[in-house]
């Protein structure tokens, strides 16, 4: 799977052809304009471990290069120069895939430490990293193609479950279909390939080393986005192929594989026939061929290529249009009928997309209405509970206000009693002070009388007059109330 990222890469633009070749970790670029020879090689990157490329609708070649540390570098090649550009994904292990569509959108898939990485490009916003769908995080990309309407077709190999999965995604609102399981148990080194033909039919093939078969499955466009898969077919082979690829010659789609010894075998998908197309002595160089939307594989007899070995198409013609048979070219009605059929298929595809979008909108509306009804019921219950709570709180507040009024009255009474008690206390204190002063006066008077008594006792001769005086003093003693 990883060896394909080391194969040479060829792309024929409208005015210029590009050829990329990895040689001793040097990425070499050759250019040639139409009807001219290849230019001298130009080393555009050193320490290159893997590389992938894809042309956009403007004919610019986008190149992603991984160095020895799996760091990604983004290069843009046009007719005049090569320039570097920033890329949203900084590191990725092999394999990593890249494709641009006729709508101007692009998709990148890679992996880092067993985790799937995705990035999307739009003409308005440039590159941005995309969140991987749930359940597909531990996957590695095995195939990528973008159809003429911008739909993304992705082939993934689940690392933990060893399964082969297909998923379709639209670039408009990024709706993802449910992953379609192509093979439940595959070898981690299994070779797989995904391709689109001129009718935008999806073709997938993979090699199963346990059964020794190449398995093939296709998905017709009329069944998008939820169905359309045809019964699986298999071809028994007695060699592990180095490469699998699809090649559309005229109107016949063929699957071919390369044996370990170098022999090329071709299988016609229609009738399941297999035939040997080359011998071991003939020069065969596998080359990646870039087209808008996907990369395919082919063989050439020389590097840089002057002609395809497999399809026998001359590259110098620069003819990228779909070829027709001689009868079709002579018969205008057949050509017109074919165009009408393609338009019908396009309309059917768009109709299926609209129907699917309408069904999704209906489901969303039903789910929204159901969610709204549930939420409304929940809100009604909550409001009822709140109303009951408010009523209870209001009654509690009223009772508390009554209790507060009663407590205020009691407090006022206590305040009055406290004032009265304070007044009475002050009066009692004043009376006590007055009595203490009177008591002090009586004590002084008693002491004076006692001193006079003592004095009279010392004078007996005068005792009678002393007694008389004592009685007079006692009769003159003031009362306590005075």
Q: In this predicted model, what pLDDT tens digit does every residue of 28-84 receive, in sequence order?
A: 999 998 778 888 889 999 999 999 999 999 999 999 999 999 999 999 998 888 999
pLDDT at 278: 56
pLDDT at 304 over 70: yes
Three-state secondary structure call for residue 171: coil
Summarize the confidence of residues 155-180 as an average pLDDT.
Answer: 80
Range scoring the smallest mean pLDDT among 68-77, 120-129, 465-474: 465-474
* Beta strands 16-23; 42-46: pairing state: unpaired
The string of pLDDT tens digits covering residues 214-267 is 888 888 865 554 567 888 888 888 878 888 888 776 555 667 777 777 677 777
C-alpha span between 356 and 367 (Å, rounded) = 16
Tokens at 262, concatenated: 């170098």
Give the span between the Cα atoms of 90 and 340, in whole angstroms: 46
| pLDDT higher than threshold 70 for residue 123 | yes
pLDDT for 120 beyond 50: yes
Question: Which is more confident, 430 or 178?
Answer: 430
Q: How many helices (H) and strands (E) does the chain have?
A: 3, 26
Task: Report how far residue 396's alpha carbon sits from residue 399's, in angstroms, rounded to the nearest whole number.
Answer: 5
Q: State residue 316's pLDDT score.
A: 34
Residue 411 confidence (pLDDT) above 50: yes
User: Span 339-356, mean pLDDT?
Assistant: 69
Higher per-residue confidence, 23 vs 4: 23
* Contact present, 98 and 121 (Cβ < 8 Å): no
pTM: 0.64
Banded model confidence at residue 422, pLDDT cuts 50, 70, 90 = very high
Higher pLDDT: 112 or 269? It is 112
For residue 182, what is the enclosing H or E element?
strand 180-183
pLDDT band per the 50, 70, 90 thresholds, residue 325: very low
Mean pLDDT of 112-120: 90
Share of the chain above pLDDT 70, in %: 79
Could you read off the pLDDT of 379-391 as tens digits, one per residue?
A: 999 999 999 999 9
CA distance linking residue 257 with residue 255, whole number of Å: 7
In the prediction, which pLDDT does 302 show? 82
- Give 366's Cβ-side CA count (13 Å radius): 6
CB 166 within 8 A of CB 227: no
Note the pLDDT of residue 476: 66
For the cut 60, the answer to whether the pLDDT of residue 447 exceeds it is yes
Q: Which of 51-65, 334-348, 467-481 has the lowest mean pLDDT?
A: 334-348
- Residues 96/50, Cβ–Cβ less than 8 Å: yes
Q: What is the pLDDT of residue 301?
A: 79
Judged against a pLDDT cut of 80, whether residue 153 lies above it is answered with yes
CB 9 within 8 A of CB 29: no
State the pLDDT at residue 171: 65
**For position 271, what pLDDT does the model report?**
63
| Mean pLDDT, range 134-152, rounded to an integer | 88
Give me the pLDDT at residue 321, please.
36
pLDDT of residue 40: 86
Highest-confidence segment of 290-304, 396-410, 448-462: 396-410
Which of 66, 410, 346, 315 has the alpha carbon at shortest distance from 198? 346
Average pLDDT, the chain: 81
Residue 330 banded pLDDT, cuts 50, 70, 90: very low
């Amino acid at each position: 799977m990883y060896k394909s990222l080391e194969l040479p890469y060829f792309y024929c633009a409208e005015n210029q052809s590009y050829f990329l070749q990895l040689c001793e970790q040097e990425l070499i670029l050759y250019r040639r304009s139409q009807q001219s020879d290849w230019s001298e090689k130009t080393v555009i990157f050193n320490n290159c471990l893997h590389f992938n490329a894809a042309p956009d609708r403007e004919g610019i070649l986008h190149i992603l290069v991984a160095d020895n540390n799996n760091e990604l570098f983004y290069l843009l090649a046009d007719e005049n120069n090569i320039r570097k550009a920033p890329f949203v994904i900084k590191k990725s292990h092999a394999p990593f895939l890249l494709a641009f569509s006729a709508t101007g959108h692009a998709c990148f898939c890679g992996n880092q430490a067993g985790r799937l990485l995705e990035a999307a490009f739009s003409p308005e916003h440039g590159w941005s990293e995309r969140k991987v769908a749930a359940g597909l995080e531990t996957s590695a990309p095995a195939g990528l193609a973008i159809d003429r309407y911008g739909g993304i077709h992705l082939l993934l190999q689940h690392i933990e479950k060893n399964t082969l999965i297909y998923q379709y995604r639209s670039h408009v609102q990024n709706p993802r279909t449910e992953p379609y399981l192509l093979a439940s148990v595959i070898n981690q080194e299994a070779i797989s390939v995904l391709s689109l033909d001129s009718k935008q039919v999806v073709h997938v093939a993979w090699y199963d080393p346990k059964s020794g078969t190449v398995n093939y499955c296709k998905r017709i466009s009329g069944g998008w986005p939820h169905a359309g898969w045809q019964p699986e077919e298999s071809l028994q082979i007695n060699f592990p192929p180095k490469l699998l690829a699809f090649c559309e010659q005229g109107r016949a789609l063929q699957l071919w594989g390369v044996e370990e010894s170098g022999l090329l075998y071709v299988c016609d998908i229609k009738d399941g026939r297999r035939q040997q197309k080359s011998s071991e002595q003939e020069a065969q160089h596998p080359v990646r061929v870039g087209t808008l939307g996907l990369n395919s594989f082919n063989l050439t007899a020389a590097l840089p290529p002057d002609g395809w070995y497999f399809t026998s198409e001359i590259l110098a013609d620069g003819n990228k249009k779909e070829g027709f048979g001689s009868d079709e070219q002579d018969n205008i009605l057949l050509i017109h009928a074919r165009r009408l059929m393609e338009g019908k298929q396009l309309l059917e595809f768009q109709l299926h997309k609209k129907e699917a979008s309408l069904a999704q909108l209906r489901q969303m509306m039903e789910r929204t209405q159901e969610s709204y009804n549930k939420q409304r019921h929940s809100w009604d219950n909550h409001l009822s509970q709140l109303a009951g709570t408010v009523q209870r709180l209001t009654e509690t507040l009223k009772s508390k206000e009554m209790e507060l009024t009663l407590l205020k009255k009691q407090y006022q009474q206590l305040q009055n009693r406290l004032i009265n008690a304070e007044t009475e206390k002050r009066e009692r204190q004043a009376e006590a002070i007055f009595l203490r002063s009177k008591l002090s006066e009586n004590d002084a008077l008693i002491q004076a009388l006692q001193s006079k008594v003592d004095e009279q006792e010392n004078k007996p001769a005068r005792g009678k007059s002393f007694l008389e005086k004592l009685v007079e003093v006692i009769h003159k003693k003031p009362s306590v109330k005075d």
